[in-house]
Amino acid sequence: MITDAQYTDSEYEERVGWGHSSCFSATDFGIQAEVGAMALFHHDPECSDEDVDRRVEACRRRAGRFDSDLVVFAAREGVELQL
């Protein structure tokens, strides 16, 4: 699954209607859909690489709390996915 995950839940609350998603809502959807891996993209340009890494880790922890094997990673330029 490749999905927009620009905001945390608290950031999303301040930006409803801007056309972007919460990374945690995306994670929940990935878990419910039983996807194997999820690439988070459309990172907020004001976020540092460390911010994105923290967000990815938080999504991984969330998946773990639901006993999901979902692999979560940040999409980035130059990454190619092979099926």
Band of pLDDT at residue 42, cut at 50, 70 and 90: confident
Residue 31 lies in a domain: yes
Q: What is the mean pLDDT of the chain?
A: 90
Percent of the chain with pLDDT over 90: 57
Domain that holds residue 39: 2-74
Residue 79 lies in a domain: no
Name which residue leads in pLDDT, 10 or 60: 60
Residue 16 lies in a domain: yes
In the chain, the number of structural domains is 1
> What is the pTM assigned to this prediction?
0.86
Q: What is the pLDDT of residue 67?
A: 96
For 38, list phi and psi in degrees, rounded to 5.
Answer: -140, 125
Q: What is the pLDDT of residue 45?
A: 79
Name which residue leads in pLDDT, 66 or 44: 66
Q: What angle do CA 53, 54, 58 make, to 5 degrees?
A: 120
